[in-house]
Amino acid sequence: MEQLQGLFPFKLDGFQEKAVQQLLEGRSVVVCAPTGAGKTAIAEAAAAAALARGQRVIYTTPLKALSNQKLAEKAARFGSSRVGLQTGDTSLNTDADIVVMTTEILRNIMYRTAEIAGSGSLTNTRDERLGDVGLVVLDEVHYLGDPWRGSVWEEVIINCPRHIQMLAMSATVKNPEDLGGWISQVHGECVTIKTRFRPVPLRWVFCHKAPRQGAVLEDLTLQQQQQQQQQGGAAAIGRLNPRLKMDEWVEEELKFQAMKEARAAREAAQRQQNFYGGGYDSDPYSSSSSNGSRRGSRGSGGGYRSSGGSSSSSIEEELLAQMTVETGDGGGGGKFGGGGRRGNERQDLVRKVMGKRTPTQEQVVRQLIQARMLPAIWFIMSRRDCDLAAIATNVTLVDQQEEAELEQELMQLFSDNPDAVRDKLVPAFLRGIASHHAGCLPAWKSLVERCFQKGLLKLVYATGTLAAGINMPARTTVISNLARRSDDGIKLLPHNELLQMAGRAGRRGFDTLGHCVLVQGRFEGAEAAHGIITGGPEPLQSQFTTSYSLVLNLLSVYSLDEARDFLSKSFGTYLQEQGNTKLRQQAQQLMDTAAALLKLAEGQGGSSMSAQQKAAVVTFGSALTSALALKLNLPLDVFDPVMPSPETAAQIEEQKTQLQEAKQSLATLRRQDKFAAQSVAQQQQALLQGVPQEALAAAVAAAAGDQPDAAAAGGSRQRSSSSDTGSSGSSSSDDEVAAALKSLQGRDPLVVAKRLAKRAKRMMAEADQGQSVTTWNSFMDVLSILVEMGAMEESSLRLLPLGLVARSINCNNELWMAAALSSPGVMALSPPQLAALVGALQCTDLLKRPMSIWSSYQVSDAVITALEELEPTMEAIYNAQTAAGQGKWNEHLAVDLRLAGLVEAWAGGASWQEIMADTSIDDGDMARLMARTADMLKQMTFLHEQLPYLTEPARAALRGMNRKPISDLVA
Q: Are 406 and 397 in contact (CB under 8 A)?
A: no
The pLDDT value recorded for residue 313 is 41
Question: Does 125 score more than 90 pLDDT?
Answer: no
Q: Does pTM top 0.75 for this prediction?
A: no
Distance (Å, whole) CA 927 – CA 964: 10
pLDDT digits (tens, 9 = 90+) for 680-696: 333 333 333 333 344 33
The pLDDT value recorded for residue 935 is 87
Distance (Å, whole) CA 454 – CA 449: 9
pLDDT digits (tens, 9 = 90+) for 418-448: 888 888 999 999 999 999 987 788 889 889 9
Question: Does 129 score more than 90 pLDDT?
Answer: no
Distance (Å, whole) CA 771 – CA 602: 42
Arithmetic mean of pLDDT, 272-285: 52
The pLDDT value recorded for residue 924 is 78
pLDDT digits (tens, 9 = 90+) for 800-824: 999 999 999 988 899 999 999 999 9
The SS3 assignment for 84 reads strand
% of the chain beyond a pLDDT of 90? 36
Question: Does 511 score more than 50 pLDDT?
Answer: yes
The SS3 assignment for 486 reads strand
Arithmetic mean of pLDDT, 71-88: 88
Residue 411 burial (C-beta neighbours within 10 Å; 0-12, 13-18, 19+) = exposed
Arithmetic mean of pLDDT, 795-801: 93
The pLDDT value recorded for residue 606 is 39
- State the pLDDT confidence band at 760, using cuts at 50, 70 and 90: confident
Q: If DSSP states are collapsed to H, E and C, what string results for 403-464?
A: HHHHHHHHHHHHHHCHHHCCHHHHHHHHCCEEEECCCCCHHHHHHHHHHHHCCCCCEEEECH
Query: Across the chain, which distance is largest between two alpha carbons, in Å?
Result: 120
Q: If DSSP states are collapsed to H, E and C, what string results for 715-766?
A: HHHHHHHHHHHCCCCCHHHHHHHHHHHHCCCCCCHHHHHHHHHHHHHHHHHH
The amino acid that residue 940 corresponds to is M
The pLDDT value recorded for residue 750 is 66
Which range of 494-508, 702-716, 774-788 scores highest in mean pLDDT? It is: 774-788
pLDDT digits (tens, 9 = 90+) for 907-950: 999 998 899 888 888 887 888 889 889 989 999 998 999 999 99
The pLDDT value recorded for residue 310 is 40
On the CB side of 893, CA atoms within 13 Å amount to: 21
Arithmetic mean of pLDDT, 279-291: 38
Q: Are 450 and 409 in contact (CB under 8 A)?
A: yes
Q: What is the DSSP string of 229-291?
A: HHHTTB----SBPGGG-HHHHHHHHHHHHHHHHHHHHHHHHHHHHHHHTTGGGS-TTSS--TT
Question: Does 332 score more than 70 pLDDT?
Answer: no
Question: Does 662 score more than 80 pLDDT?
Answer: no
- State the pLDDT confidence band at 2, using cuts at 50, 70 and 90: confident
Arithmetic mean of pLDDT, 325-337: 39
Distance (Å, whole) CA 121 – CA 119: 7
CB atoms within 10 A of CB 82: 18
What is the overall mean pLDDT for the chain? 76
Residue 564 burial (C-beta neighbours within 10 Å; 0-12, 13-18, 19+) = middle
More confident residue, 439 or 180: 180
- State the pLDDT confidence band at 840, using cuts at 50, 70 and 90: very high
Question: Does 631 score more than 70 pLDDT?
Answer: no
Element (H, E) at 485: strand 483-486
pLDDT digits (tens, 9 = 90+) for 694-711: 433 444 444 433 333 333
The amino acid that residue 902 corresponds to is L
The pLDDT value recorded for residue 55 is 95
The pLDDT value recorded for residue 259 is 83
Question: Does 325 score more than 60 pLDDT?
Answer: no
